[in-house]
């Protein structure tokens, strides 16, 4: 109860009528946090169980979600899983999934979780409530608006006073977020500044409302904005708000010092050995590869051209096990779904097969989609199977796509170079660095297969990843999963 009282006192320092309303909502969240009604038979996690470590998080593309393969994913999910595996193997890992970010810190204060892994920015008010780990990522709060210029991802405005920009406009942010705290700081010098702090929503939803024209502005973190701009090309960054924020895990101020020490040691290790950057690259490294025009044209052709070939892509999925949206993304990057496409180097068709590859895969007419699509999919599988068993997914597929584009020999040169430079040849985030070096004489003259334009496979792989993600977002293969309030995983 002392933690709740302090929570209330901090909020009251900023009180006006709007803050009073927010206070009441937060008190309700703290007092009434409960297991989701859909899973009311699931017991609350036993935080005092010596064998259990509970992480509180919330659903979202930057935290914890089910991916296209119906497996749990997300940067916070991966980090928590790695932490328990490598630094706390004596614990059983559990996730407490709350409805929104505004419920995360109340869950810690109520003693329902040991650690909050929820894409939390370190802010002054939060530091009065909880203690934070070593930061693991930096992000920038951005004011986001509707984009009326489809050639740009940014739409900068001169923000002399945010309150002037918002005259007659509607802006909303999720309740209990760092965005709300930043706006309250701005309001001290701009007393006419107005916005809505909404419960039971999130930044992803508010960004989609801006894109659909039902909301004029919102504020969101830059790494999420860059992802959402690939789904909604009419989102634009109007300006940055304040200085960059640092993201970290949060723990109760009464947390076991030994646990805090382990958490900080974990982040120190994964920063030093490259694991952290590898994970950040996995989720965000490709998000800015496409510009607004790329995304706009892709979405248009997804409506006009993709339906002509969707059945063939899905048949190829049945034959190979590859997600049809990956096959379609490769095809789009290769030919823009033009079955007659022919390059100056002689590759042809929807999958832009070389003559040798076509012969290898038994294709007699590369311009025939019925032959080209399954052959291209089977060739991707062939590349995946050629990648050494030491390479885990999704890096295995990324490396295979690079080989599909540049050839397996040059990929092997890049992996050899990675070993020489003490990088990890099994990680795409490292191999893409050495692929770029295949254009430099100091490196390619020392390798078996010599010069290659290594930028081409890097652009290819990251564009394909972006196109696949867009298709997964707009054409999910199954209904959204109903995530349980408490998800339990083995070690």
**Same structural domain, 273 and 388:** no
What pLDDT, on the 0 to 100 scale, is given for residue 310?
97
> Would 351 be classed as within a structural domain?
yes
Same domain, 252 and 239: no
Q: Which residue has the higher pLDDT, 105 or 41?
A: 105
Asked if residue 197 has pLDDT above 50, the reply is yes
Check pLDDT > 60 for residue 23. no
CA distances to 219, 235, 296 from 211, in Å: 13, 6, 13
- 196 has a pLDDT exceeding 90: yes
The contacts of residue 30 (CB under 8 Å, 6+ apart) are 4, 7, 106, 109, 110
Averaged pLDDT for residues 306-310: 97
Q: Is the pLDDT of residue 29 over 50?
A: no
Domain assignment of residue 199, yes or no: yes
Specify the CATH number for the domain of residue 211.
3.40.190.10
Say whether pLDDT at 481 is over 70: no
Residue 491 reports pLDDT greater than 80: no
Examine the domain organization and report whether 400 and 304 are in the same domain. yes
User: Is 464 domain-assigned?
Assistant: yes
Total-model pTM: 0.79
Find the range with the poorest average confidence among 35-39, 183-187, 291-295, 396-400: 35-39
17 falls within a domain = no
Q: Is the pLDDT of residue 38 over 80?
A: no
- Between 46-50, 205-209, 240-244, 444-448, the lowest mean confidence (pLDDT) is in 46-50
The count of domains in the chain is 3
pLDDT in tens, 378-395: 999 999 999 999 999 999
Among 129-133, 218-222, 287-291, the minimum mean pLDDT is found in: 287-291
Q: What does pLDDT average to over the chain?
A: 86
pLDDT at 161: 74
At residue 490, the pLDDT reads 36
Distances (CA, A) of 123 to 20, 21, 201, 247, 248: 20, 21, 20, 10, 10
Q: What is the pLDDT of residue 164?
A: 80
Is residue 26 included in any domain, yes or no?
no
Judged against a pLDDT cut of 70, whether residue 66 lies above it is answered with: yes
Domain boundary among 287, 312, 341: 287
pLDDT given at position 157:
66
Quick: pLDDT tens for 310-327: 999 999 999 999 999 999
Q: Which of 209, 334, 462, 472 is catalytic?
A: 334
> Is 90 tagged catalytic?
no
243 CB burial (10 A radius; 0-12, 13-18, 19+): exposed
Same domain for 278 and 223 = no
pLDDT at residue number 20: 46
Residues 238 and 370 in one domain: no
Burial of 377 (0-12, 13-18, 19+ CB in 10 A): buried
Q: Tell me: the pLDDT tens digits for 271-288?
A: 999 999 999 988 988 887
Mean pLDDT of 73-95: 95
Average pLDDT over residues 150-169: 71
What pLDDT shows up at residue 22? 46
Which CA distances in Å does 71 have to 68, 359, 475? 7, 36, 17
Query: In this structure, are 345 and 462 located in the same domain?
Result: yes
Residues 222 and 151 in one domain: yes
Residue 180 lies in a domain: yes
In Å, how far are 32, 132, 317, 361, 491 from 250, measured between CA atoms? 21, 4, 42, 53, 22
Q: What is the pLDDT of residues 247-272, one digit of tens each?
A: 999 999 999 999 999 999 999 999 99
How far apart are alpha carbons 7 and 318 in whole angstroms?
54
* Whether residue 449 has pLDDT greater than 60: yes
User: What range does the domain containing 54 cover?
Assistant: 33-137+246-287
Binned at pLDDT 50, 70 and 90, residue 479 comes out as: very low
Alpha-carbon distance values, 394 to 116, 280, 344, 399, 454 (Å): 26, 13, 32, 9, 20
* Cα 288 to chain centroid, rounded: 12
> Is it the case that residue 105 has pLDDT exceeding 60?
yes
Q: Which of 64-68, 207-211, 303-307, 378-382 has the lowest mean pLDDT?
A: 64-68
pLDDT at 47: 66
What share of the chain in percent tops pLDDT 70? 84
Is there a domain that residue 159 lies in?
yes
Residues 239, 250, single domain; the answer is no
Q: What letter would DSSP give residue 353?
A: B
Q: Residue 339 — pLDDT band, cuts 50, 70, 90?
A: very high
Q: Tens of pLDDT along 363-379? A: 999 999 999 999 999 99
């Amino acid at each position: 109860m002392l933690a709740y009282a302090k929570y209330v006192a901090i909020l009251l320092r900023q009180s006006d009528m709007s803050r009073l309303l927010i206070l009441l909502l937060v008190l309700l969240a703290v007092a009434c946090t409960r297991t989701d009604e859909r899973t009311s038979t699931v017991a609350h996690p036993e935080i005092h169980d010596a064998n259990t470590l509970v992480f509180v998080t919330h659903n979202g593309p930057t935290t914890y979600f089910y991916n296209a393969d119906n497996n749990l994913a997300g940067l916070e999910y991966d980090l928590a899983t790695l932490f328990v595996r490598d630094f706390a193997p004596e614990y059983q890992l559990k996730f407490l999934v709350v409805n929104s970010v505004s419920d995360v810190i109340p869950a810690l204060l109520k003693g329902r979780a040991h650690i909050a892994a929820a894409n939390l920015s370190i802010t002054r008010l939060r530091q009065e409530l909880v203690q934070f780990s070593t930061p693991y990522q930096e992000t920038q709060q951005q004011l986001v608006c509707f984009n009326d210029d489809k050639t740009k991802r940014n739409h900068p405005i001169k923000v002399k006073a945010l309150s002037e920009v918002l005259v007659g406009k509607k802006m909303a942010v999720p309740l209990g977020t760092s965005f709300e705290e930043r706006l309250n700081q701005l309001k001290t010098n701009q007393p006419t500044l107005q916005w809505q702090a909404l419960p039971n929503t999130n930044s992803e939803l508010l960004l989609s409302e801006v894109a659909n024209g039902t909301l004029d502005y919102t504020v969101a973190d830059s790494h999420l904005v860059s992802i959402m701009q690939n789904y909604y090309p009419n989102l634009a960054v109007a300006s940055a708000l304040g200085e960059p924020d640092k993201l970290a895990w949060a723990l109760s101020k009464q947390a076991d010092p030994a646990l805090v020490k382990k958490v900080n040691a974990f982040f120190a290790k994964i920063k030093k050995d490259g694991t952290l950057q590898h994970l950040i690259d996995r989720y965000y490294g490709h998000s800015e590869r496409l510009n607004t025009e790329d995304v706009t044209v892709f979405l248009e052709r997804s409506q006009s051209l993709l339906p002509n070939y969707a059945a063939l892509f899905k048949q190829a999925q049945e034959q190979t096990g590859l997600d049809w949206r990956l096959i379609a993304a490769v095809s789009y990057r290769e030919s823009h779904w033009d079955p007659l496409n022919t390059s100056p180097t002689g590759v042809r068709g929807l999958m832009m097969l070389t003559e040798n590859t076509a012969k290898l895969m038994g294709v007699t007419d590369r311009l025939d989609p019925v032959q080209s699509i399954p052959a291209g999919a089977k060739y991707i599988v062939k590349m995946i199977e050629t990648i050494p068993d030491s390479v885990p997914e999704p890096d295995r597929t990324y490396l295979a796509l690079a080989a599909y584009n540049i050839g397996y020999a040059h990929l092997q040169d890049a992996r050899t170079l990675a070993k020489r430079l003490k990088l990890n040849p099994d990680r795409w985030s490292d191999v893409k660095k050495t692929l770029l070096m295949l254009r430099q004489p100091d490196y390619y003259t020392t390798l078996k297969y010599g010069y290659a334009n290594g930028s081409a496979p890097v652009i290819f792989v990251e564009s394909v990843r972006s196109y696949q993600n867009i298709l997964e977002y707009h054409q999910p293969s199954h209904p959204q999963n109903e995530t349980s309030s408490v998800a339990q995983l083995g070690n």
